[in-house]
Structure 1
Amino acid sequence: MKKACVIGGNGYLALAIIKQLLEKGYHVNATVRNPDDSAKVAYLKKIGEIGTLKLFPADMTVEGSFDDAVIGCDYVFQVAAPTNLMSEDPENDLIKPAIQGTLNILRSCLKAKTVKRVVHTSSACTVSVNQQKGTGYVLDEEAWSDIDYMLKEKPPTWGYIVAKTLAEKEAFKFAKENKIDLISINPTFIIGTPLNGEVPPPINLALCFFSGDKMWMDILKMTQMISGSVSAAHLEDTARAHIFLAENDKASGRYICNAVNTSAPELASFLNKQYPQYKVFNDVVDLPGPAKLSLSSEKLIQAGFEFKYKSLEEIIDSIFEYGKSKGFLSKRTPPTTLENDKCKSLLSN
């Protein structure tokens, strides 16, 4: 019976990975900060009823904290990371903890001597942030975000992007020096119905055109301006890709996990046409329609992976009922008699 450890077990993506591992018959160890916090681990324990799941306390800032959780495991999925996007002290809140935490996990894997492969969850933001002008760029795993540009210009969320980029680079460096088999996966926006009670940021972003939430709309606009596109993959596919890469003996290096490349204006236009009965707030008209770049998952597909959700329509449809249940969607107000008369008058002229 194969055994896997998922670091940061009660997160949005981690829960989906754990569920799929248990359904495949894996024994799963999951780390959380405090297994005794019933509110934090309630959904994790519910998923654990599928198979064999054991929780371990662990802290990314403490070396040796993951020793007990990873020993005896075939695969380790490093999903946890600091995520305080608006930190006023990115160096100490994001960058140092991300690098140190990643290295602490890898040190535990090295000591365990049983781990066949580590799958490190990075982000597409480590690929796409650069100073290139124009449109039409296609980026693959050879591309890295421009650290010097971010440290100099400090665009919004720069600390998170630098943290993810440096943590990924340091992970590969440590793995090479210590002969650890490491795979890095770079997901775009992960969209799918969450397995816990929280509404994750990608859902707020995907449905902000329906909710009209200005903060999330601004974040979506900022995302396109900084990273060059609004790209997405389904939660289920992203979790599947993690396990696929862990089990694929020929896999190596980095893998972009992305199903759809689009832009905020294109997304707004799509939603307006696809769901005409619902009100769509379009506050992104000042952004360029075509995205600056697209992110290629060709390497992942060539390795044998197939996306289940291949289109924007399939991805958004999959969370539509969830969005309604959370109050994101409101029916479009039918036109009044006066408005109808005005339209008829204009048409007759």
Structure 2
Amino acid sequence: MSAPKDKTILITGASGFVATHVVKAFLERGYQVRGTVRSEQTAVNVRKNFLEYSDRLSFAIVEDIAQPGAFDEAVQGVDGIIHTASPFQFVVVDQEKDLLQPAIRGTTSILQAALGQPQITRIVITSSFAAVANLSKGLWPEHTYVEDDWNPITYEEAKVADGVSAYCASKAFAERAAWDLLEKEKPHFSLATICPPMIYGPVEHHVQDMNKLNTSAADIYRLINGSTQEVPPTGFPAWADVRDVAEAHLRAFEVDQAANERFLITSGSYSYDDVCDVLRTAFPEIKDKIPMGQVGTSQPAVYKVSNQKAKSMLGMEFRSLESSMKDTVKSLLELETRLQ
């Protein structure tokens, strides 16, 4: 394997919460990185985060990843691809048109573009635990999810499902489309997919307004800014730290055995009660803003998510909830001060 400095990695959606950490991981490892962004201004914002690596960071403008040929120019001459970009609609009128098809096309278009680039060795796709979980089973406490599990929703069901179910379905169909293309085309490159659940961790991407945080950062910010009076119910009780997710992308690209493998990336289960307990202790200066759970209330039993494959095949170790939440909130408080 040639040295990282001789390899260029395309990282799609480079301005995102997860992607910023992925870009950082590859730059720190020594790679040349080409990030896709939607505009020149976004490229300027991303570059500000990585001034010390400016000689190894470049950009390609891709305004709409779901358009045919969207990545044809961006993939020219790269050695590998980390595909983190995924279409996301907050207001969905038509599940198929607004969610399912854009997610599928966004994934297949980059794979098809890569077919014409024989130097590309591996593509790593950011999938999701949403592509793994069986929502119809609820908390399913007797079950441990592994990489062989798939969200069983059908396309016909997804077209008329509620927004959360349709979004989860879109992640499953996008990932399945990637594996189907691999099976059909037998390409020169290998594939790996990363399936994290809720992703927390420090905010390092460009943020202009605390009201426009990414979803998971906003999820924690509401617990420390006084806007949430009661501990909310935990919707998806499994989590990962964004830095671990980024490291998993790097290792899934580099490790030979990761070829054509799927990885669940998680530190385990959690609840918002756990989070609030950690934060009240770690940040006593804001403890009055942090909601308090009911004393003596036990948490319901929940499914488990196995990270054994990531540990054994990628050599991953995972951060604790305490360290992740401390770093998340520290970054949010610093960002809040900076934007005031």
Say whether the fold is shared (TM-score over 0.5).
yes
Question: Could you tell me which residue of structure 2 aligns to residue 145 of structure 1?
Answer: 151
5+ residue gaps in structure 2?
Answer: 1-5, 208-212
Q: Does 1:122 align with 2:122?
A: no
Q: Does 1:108 align with 2:108?
A: no
Distance 1:85 1:256, change over 3 A: farther
Q: Contact 2:82/2:125 (CA < 8 Å) preserved in 1?
A: yes
Q: Which moved more, 1:159-168 or 1:298-307?
A: 298-307
Q: Which amino acid aligns with 1:264?
A: Y
Q: Which amino acid aligns with 2:13?
A: G
CA distance in 1, matches of 2:102, 2:322: 37
Q: Does 1:92 align with 2:102?
A: no
CA distance in 2, matches of 1:284, 1:145: 33
Q: Secondary structure of the equivalent of 2:116?
A: helix
Pick from 309, 312, 317 the counterpart of residue 307 of structure 1: 317
CA distance in 2, matches of 1:137, 1:276: 37
Q: Secondary structure of the equivalent of 1:28?
A: strand
Distance 1:266 1:16, change over 3 A: closer
CA distance in 2, matches of 1:31, 1:327: 27
Question: Could you tell me which residue of structure 2 aligns to residue 168 of structure 1?
Answer: 175
CA distance in 2, matches of 1:288, 1:253: 37
Q: Which moved more, 1:315-324 or 1:239-248?
A: 315-324
Q: Contact 2:228/2:291 (CA < 8 Å) preserved in 1?
A: no
Deviations 1:246-267 (A, max 9, x none): 1111113210111131233443
CA distance in 2, matches of 1:234, 1:159: 25
Measure how far apart 1:113 and its partner are.
1.5
Pick from 55, 61, 64 the counterpart of residue 57 of structure 1: 61
Q: Does 1:237 align with 2:244?
A: yes
Pick from 202, 205, 225 the counterpart of residue 216 of structure 2: 202
CA distance in 2, matches of 1:213, 1:128: 30
Q: Does 1:44 align with 2:50?
A: no
Higher RCO, 1 vs 2 (CA within 8 Å, ≥6 residues apart) = 2
Q: Contact 2:128/2:171 (CA < 8 Å) preserved in 1?
A: yes
How many residues get paired? Answer: 316
Normalising by the residue count of structure 2, what TM-score does the alignment of the two structures yield? 0.83
Q: Which amino acid aligns with 2:151?
A: S
Q: Secondary structure of the equivalent of 1:65?
A: coil
Normalising by the residue count of structure 1, what TM-score does the alignment of the two structures yield? 0.81
CA distance in 1, matches of 2:274, 2:204: 29
Q: Contact 1:262/1:290 (CA < 8 Å) preserved in 2?
A: no
Q: Contact 1:209/1:282 (CA < 8 Å) preserved in 2?
A: no
Q: Contact 1:15/1:195 (CA < 8 Å) preserved in 2?
A: yes
Deviations 1:225-255 (A, max 9, x none): xxxx322221211111101001111113210
Q: Secondary structure of the equivalent of 1:182?
A: strand
Q: Does 1:190 align with 2:199?
A: yes
Q: Which moved more, 1:154-163 or 1:98-107?
A: 154-163
Distance 1:276 1:30, change over 3 A: closer
Q: Contact 2:267/2:318 (CA < 8 Å) preserved in 1?
A: no
Task: Give identity over the alignment, percent.
Answer: 26
CA distance in 1, matches of 2:268, 2:317: 10
Q: Which moved more, 1:199-208 or 1:311-320?
A: 199-208
Q: Which amino acid aligns with 1:43?
A: N
Measure how far apart 1:4 and its partner are.
0.6
CA distance in 1, matches of 2:101, 2:314: 36
Distance 1:27 1:188, change over 3 A: same
CA distance in 1, matches of 2:196, 2:178: 17
Distance 1:116 1:48, change over 3 A: farther
Q: Which moved more, 1:270-279 or 1:102-111?
A: 270-279
Deviations 1:93-142 (A, max 9, x none): 11111101111110001111211111010111111233226524211111
Pick from 121, 128, 135 the counterpart of residue 141 of structure 2: 135
Q: Secondary structure of the equivalent of 2:115?
A: helix
CA distance in 1, matches of 2:182, 2:86: 18
Q: Contact 1:119/1:245 (CA < 8 Å) preserved in 2?
A: yes
Question: Could you tell me which residue of structure 1 aligns to residue 269 of structure 2?
Answer: 261
Q: Which amino acid aligns with 2:183?
A: K
Q: Secondary structure of the equivalent of 1:120?
A: strand
CA RMSD of aligned residues (A): 2.7
Q: Secondary structure of the equivalent of 1:292?
A: coil
| 1:300-339 correspondence runs (5 A) | 300-307=310-317, 309=319, 311-327=320-336
Distance 1:326 1:26, change over 3 A: closer
Q: Which has the larger radius of gyration?
A: 1
5+ residue gaps in structure 1?
Answer: 329-349
Q: Which amino acid aligns with 2:18?
A: L
Q: Contact 1:12/1:196 (CA < 8 Å) preserved in 2?
A: yes
Distance 1:266 1:25, change over 3 A: closer
CA distance in 1, matches of 2:254, 2:336: 39
Q: Secondary structure of the equivalent of 1:210?
A: coil
